Amino acid sequence: MGNCVGSPAQVDTFISHPTSGASKALGISRTSHSSNLSSSIFTPSGKSSSQSLPTPRSEDEILSSPGLKAFSFNELKTATKNFRPDSLIGEGGFGYVYKGWIDEQTLSPSRPGSGMVVAVKKLKPEGLQGHKEWLTEVNYLGQLHHPNLVKLIGYCLDGENRLLVYEFMPKGSLENHLFRRGPQPVSWATRIKVAIGAARGLSFLHDAESQVIYRDFKAANILLDADFNAKLSDFGLAKAGPTGDRTHVSTQVMGTQGYAAPEYVATGRLSARSDVYSYGVVLLELLTGRRAIDKSKVGVEQSLVDWAKPYLGDRRKLFRIMDTKLEGQYPQKAAFTVASLALQCLNPEPRSRPKMSEVLEELEKLQDLKSSAKNSPARYKSSMPSPIKSPLRNPRSSLNGTPSASPLSSNRRSPRVR
């Protein structure tokens, strides 16, 4: 299902086509092989606690994860009206996604329109996900629990059938809202809310006692509930972070073109700072309303990072790249703060990028300022004050380039690298 190309790190890089927007809006995922993982559990207080589990876990242990329901195939047939076409809500290389209904208490199938709405992913036997990849998704989402991570309700393993049942996210993906024409553009306040929610999810993964590197952070993997609260989905590429005095883990290059950190693409060395780079790309998408990679553009504009970087550190020029759909309705100082954060996240030197907890702290300050000020957004004016100081530590270097040769093949829809 993809083209195999060599990378400078002499690791295999596979290009696979992304899922449709509707699929990604409902917790659809492609997964990779599982790595050793200790459980990080979200507590009611909002803090994470770590619980050591046997590693690696056996299949029986993974499928016995507390809180996951083992559905029968017949139960999910009933919940989705026998997988009828009118229940289909998404499709991708992995298979199909159906809307279903289950009882909120017993989790047994219920009549359409009653009970709790769920998204049921049914894998194609010949699809991109094999049994090991499907098991990886159960492994991670069966252990990781946080308000900003999508919830896996259960699974079905019945003969050749492999299915996953997720909570339904009614607002779909951030990708759909940013890049597809709709009656209402995403407001500045909503963009900041989404950025904060996604940052909380990443911070939870990175700061857990057993660190988890997400590895595929992008707008398509940020799902939104009815109140635009962001949740990270698709944990198939998640990887256990380095232990001891190690600074990175070496692994096969997998991710999505335009979002993957340059040092990871070039060497296969993965760290939490690789996620920080990807987060910086999404911040750019929130600022500009443009995709990370857009082959419909010409020259440097095809790459969002290359096009936007000359403007991020200049407060007088920033308005030139701001999303026109905002129609100037955003706070000038806050926009420059976000741009400065994005620039630091995109630093070519991984060690000079901030931690996600630091990025989150700065973004929460913006939200706190808005709550206290309670004033309406100002329009961007052509006459602006001198640049303000960067909100985080002084970066060691600015974003002055991208790798000259990337192993990621181009694709208009930002393909995943596998």
Tokens 């990887």 found at: 239
* H or E element in which residue 396 lies: none
- Summarised one tens digit per residue, pLDDT across range 261-281 is 999 999 999 999 999 999 999
**pLDDT (tens digit per residue) in 140-159:** 889 889 999 999 999 999 98
| Mean pLDDT value across the chain | 79
Q: Give the architecture (CATH level 2) of 26-167.
A: 2-Layer Sandwich (3.30)
Handedness of CA 84, 89, 92, 96 (dihedral sign): negative
pLDDT at 392: 56
The residue written with tokens 């990337």 in the block is 406
- How far apart, in whole angstroms, are the C-alpha atoms of residue 214 and residue 277? 12
How many CA atoms does the CB half-sphere of 112 hold within 13 Å? 11
Question: In this structure, what DSSP letter does residue 199 have?
Answer: H
pTM for the whole thing?
A: 0.77
- What are the pLDDT digits (tens) for 73-119? 999 999 999 999 998 887 765 778 899 999 999 999 998 888 999 99
DSSP-derived 3-state class of residue 21: helix
Lowest mean pLDDT among 167-181, 245-259, 347-361, 368-382: 368-382
pLDDT of 212 above 70: yes
**Residue 15 clears pLDDT 60, i.e. is over it:** no
**Domains of the chain, residue spans:** 26-167, 172-417
**Residue 355: what pLDDT?**
97
User: What band does 319 get if pLDDT is binned at 50, 70 and 90?
Assistant: very high
DSSP-derived secondary structure letter, 408: P
Rounded percentage of the chain residues whose pLDDT exceeds 70: 73
> What value does the mean pLDDT take over residues 274-296?
97
- Indicate if the pLDDT at residue 173 is higher than 50: yes
Selected residue with higher pLDDT from 144 and 54:
144
Categorize the per-residue pLDDT at 62 as very low, low, confident or very high, splitting at 50, 70 and 90.
confident
Answer yes or no: is pLDDT of 390 > 70: no
> 194-209: per-residue pLDDT in tens?
999 999 999 999 998 8
216 assigned to active site? yes
CATH of domain 172-417: 1.10.510.10
Q: CB neighbours of 273 closer than 8 A, spacing ≥ 6?
A: 261, 350, 351, 353
- In the prediction, which pLDDT does 349 show? 97
297 marked ligand binding residue: no
Cβ proximity of 387 and 313 under 8 Å: yes
Q: Say which of 216, 234, 275, 323 is annotated catalytic.
A: 216
